[in-house]
Structure 1
Amino acid sequence: MSESRLVRRTVGILKAVAAEPDGVGLSDLARATELPKATCLRVLSVLLDDGWVTLDPVSRRYRIGVGLMFVAGRLLEGDSVLTQVDAALAELSRASGETAGFDRLAGPDVTVLRQVAGTQLIAQVTRPVPRLQPVWLTSTGKALLAAMPGPVAEDLIRSWTEDLPELPTDRLLAETTATRQRGYAVTRDELEHGAASVAAVVPASQPVHALWVGGPTFRFTAERVAELGELLSTVARTLAPALARESGGVAAAATAPLTELVPPPQELIS
């Protein structure tokens, strides 16, 4: 097996484990990564030795370990991009009273990387982070689609329709155009009934990150959505320089070609 193939498989396994805060069993992990159980087990044994993942002896479920936290610890120190992301989310949550988050494009999904709970917790439910969510059901996904060149976004949407014929292709295309015109994206009752969110992309030469504010639909009136869209766009612009400076960290893919930013799912783990 080539070194690059092994690295991709290891990264794919780590992502799949990280996406399940309550832990994931070997069979489910193999299905999620589309890898043989034996391959997953070989990679997991090395990750276990280094403390990057842990294995519950009773449930036999794998979770992200403390060893990986130490490796990523430098991102939490000083004036790092992660501290600036957290500061931006704290400001969004304070100003809006709602839950705020930071997502990254991950193939046909977006990954919720960071999240700050809002002060108005009535009718709000915060969910574990990190987590994967379909691009077409999220405000960040729609905002990132709108940030792509029109033909690229249309090709992606139509390719998803081939696999998921229930997707409303024409509506998605229309929403992408509307999002591009107003500068922010909106969802209502799509990912969850009764939930709404507004998102804006962090400007970059090849945008892969977006900020969002979410809460119950009854608080997201048309007037408030417009205010949140303006707030998100402003905060996203202030965050852009920090992400642009980050090399090898969470923004490393910002300069990659679009064909690499949105690979087919199997390429993420093969």
Structure 2
Amino acid sequence: MPRAPASLDSADGAQSVRRAMAILRLVAAGQDRGVRLTDVAAMSGLTAPTVHRFLKVLMDETAVEQDPTTRRYRIGHEITLLGLARPGGVSIRAIAEPYLAALAANVGDTVFLSVRHGADSVSIARHLGSHPIQVLSIDVGARRPLGASVSGIVLLAGMPPDEARALTQRNEKRLKGAGRSVKDVLAAVDACRAQGYTYAQAGVMPGTSAMAVPILDPAGTLVAAISIATLAERLPRDRVRGVLAKMQEQVRLVTVRLGEIERARPARR
């Protein structure tokens, strides 16, 4: 006899929702090239048949789509439509946009804005510089496990140490897929806490370098990370201090703007 669908009020129903959301996040994290079913199964800890069953339902709902040639999965149109329904407001992206543009113009290289979402860093803005060769290491909307990039290191460094360590350990499989070990990530996070920024002489893409700094609100709470990706020859160690000063100046202006917006809000009763 066929099993009745699980109610959302039941433990099985709630677990199914959590599994579906976990699978969606993994698909979103591989949005650059798409992800294989076996990748999602390995990173989620679920069996391949279970993952396939969830992906089929998500495809039926157009939340996920599959490339007919590569058979890889990507986020579908329904997720975009749901995102458009989110109530408006002043976002960190809107606040930071002019300062990102100024930084890109000043250093000549690609500037990214990233935020934390769960166990991932999500790129929410990108500005190109004036140099003829720009490093487009990630698309807007793409996700990576925290620690897989300089932005993720900065975002982890802004978390309480125990929480950052536990989250990094939970991300171990996904980090391994990105060529990073838990030990290396935690060492980079410690260094970032000590110096206030992170620098990767070898960036995510071969032949590139990257660095990132945190954006703090006036209360000192981390809200986002600004990063730069460029050709390795354009960011040797002896240029880091100069580029860092330019990044920190724009971050300072973002923090000032955040304070102005907070003070302009009506007082809560």
Q: Which residues in structure 2 correspond to 1:44-83 (within 5 Å)? A: 44-74=55-85, 82-83=93-94
Q: Provide the secondary structure at the position in 2 that maps to 1:59.
A: coil
The alpha-carbon distance between structure 1 residues 236 and 196, as it changes in their structure 2 partners (threshold 3 A), is farther
Match of residue 116 from structure 1? 127
Task: Identify which range, 141-150 or 59-68, moves more after superposition.
Answer: 141-150
2:107 maps to which of 96, 111, 122: 96
Task: Identify which range, 11-20 or 225-234, moves more after superposition.
Answer: 225-234
Unaligned regions of 5+ residues in structure 1, if any?
Answer: 245-270
Q: How far apart, in 1, do the equivalents of 2:191 and 2:161 lie? A: 11
Preserved contact between residue 154 and residue 214 of structure 2 (Cα < 8 Å) = yes
Q: How far apart, in 2, do the equivalents of 1:23 and 1:194 lie? A: 23
Match of residue 264 from structure 1? none
Preserved contact between residue 154 and residue 189 of structure 2 (Cα < 8 Å) = no
Q: What TM-score comes out, normalization by structure 1 length?
A: 0.67
How far does the alpha carbon of each residue in 1:189-231 deviate from its partner, in whole angstroms, 9 at most, with x for none?
2545543333222225653521112212433314422322323
Q: How far apart, in 1, do the equivalents of 2:182 and 2:157 lie? A: 21
The alpha-carbon distance between structure 1 residues 73 and 226, as it changes in their structure 2 partners (threshold 3 A), is same
Match of residue 7 from structure 1? 17
Preserved contact between residue 22 and residue 44 of structure 2 (Cα < 8 Å) = yes
2:230 maps to which of 215, 218, 221: 215
Deviation at 1:76, TM superposition (A): 10
Q: How far apart, in 2, do the equivalents of 1:107 and 1:87 lie? A: 27
Structure 2 residue 203 is matched with structure 1 residue 185: no
The alpha-carbon distance between structure 1 residues 24 and 190, as it changes in their structure 2 partners (threshold 3 A), is closer
Preserved contact between residue 109 and residue 135 of structure 2 (Cα < 8 Å) = no
Alignment-mate amino acid for residue 230 of structure 1: Q
Unaligned regions of 5+ residues in structure 2, if any?
Answer: 1-10, 263-269
Q: Provide the secondary structure at the position in 1 that maps to 2:17.
A: helix
Q: Which residues in structure 2 correspond to 1:1-270 (within 5 Å)? A: 1-21=11-31, 22-74=33-85, 82-84=93-95, 86-105=97-116, 110-122=121-133, 124-129=134-139, 130-132=142-144, 135=147, 138-149=149-160, 164=181, 167=184, 173-179=190-196, 184-189=197-202, 191-192=204-205, 194-204=207-217, 207=222, 209-220=224-235, 221-237=239-255, 240=258
Preserved contact between residue 157 and residue 172 of structure 1 (Cα < 8 Å) = no
Larger RCO of the pair (alpha carbons < 8 Å, separation 6+): 1
Preserved contact between residue 210 and residue 236 of structure 1 (Cα < 8 Å) = no
Instruction: Report the number of matched residues.
Output: 237
Q: Which has the larger radius of gyration?
A: 2
The alpha-carbon distance between structure 1 residues 35 and 165, as it changes in their structure 2 partners (threshold 3 A), is closer
Two-structure CA RMSD over aligned residues (Å): 3.9
Preserved contact between residue 145 and residue 153 of structure 1 (Cα < 8 Å) = yes
